[in-house]
Chains A and B, each alone.
Chain A
Amino acid sequence: ETGVTQTPRHLVMGMTNKKSLKCEQHLGHNAMYWYKQSAKKPLELMFVYNFKEQTENNSVPSRFSPECPNSSHLFLHLHTLQPEDSALYLCASSQAAGTGGYEQYFGPGTRLTVT
């Protein structure tokens, strides 16, 4: 399989549940990203990992917890979410972060609905 894959593609969870989103990139990249995409809003950068080190945490609530065990895999652990967290969660990778000009390759996203 090539590119960036994400599982699951769709997730419905209650506010008391715990779930995890998984992302895998097959491009040999060194940086991975989590974004939140809501309708008619700009992409919101949540977390950045560069060479497995977290370099960015854009004031994301602690109910979202990232994990990057290696440069090919990225997880987003979810617990006690709120209905306003319902959105499309996109994973992306690039050759590196914190330096210019590298395009990001996106996965298909996980459509999350919190009930």
Chain B
Amino acid sequence: GQNIDQPTEMTATEGAIVQINCTYQTSGFNGLFWYQQHAGEAPTFLSYNVLDGLEEKGRFSSLISRSNGYCYLLLKELQMKDSASYLCAVEDSNYQLIWGAGTKLIIKP
């Protein structure tokens, strides 16, 4: 079966940097999505990329390493409002999204 693994919970300090890892076992790879979901709210789109390497978007960066089946989301200059769950999703060879269970990120002052 297809599977996405990401840590259940992480804690970081305001102003610091945190890396949320995501490993995938899917039938093919057609792209990586990251979504942010605040408690009690809908997921909102953060980023999409398909090529290997690091793609930066403001304080957030997304890395793909297809040869290793490994991705991460890097958040810099953490703010309290970044406390949320971060969902990793991979598009497989049929363009179906395979979702991870999400990483709950707790930011402490």
Contact = CB atoms under 8 A, between A and B. Distances in A.
A100 B55 CA distance: 18
B50 A101 contact: yes
Contacts of B64: none
A101 B31 contact: yes
A106 B97 CA distance: 14
Contacts, number: 47
Q: Chain A binding site: helix, strand, loop or mixed by DSSP? A: loop
A107 to B, nearest CB: 6
Interface string B17-28: 000000000000
Contacts of B91: 100-101
A80 B33 CA distance: 35
B50 A108 contact: no
Given A100-B50, A108-B42, A40 B97 contact: no
Interface of A: 4, 40-43, 45, 56, 90, 97-101, 103-109
B100 A42 contact: yes
Contacts of B94: 98
Nearest to B30: A100
A41 B43 CA distance: 14
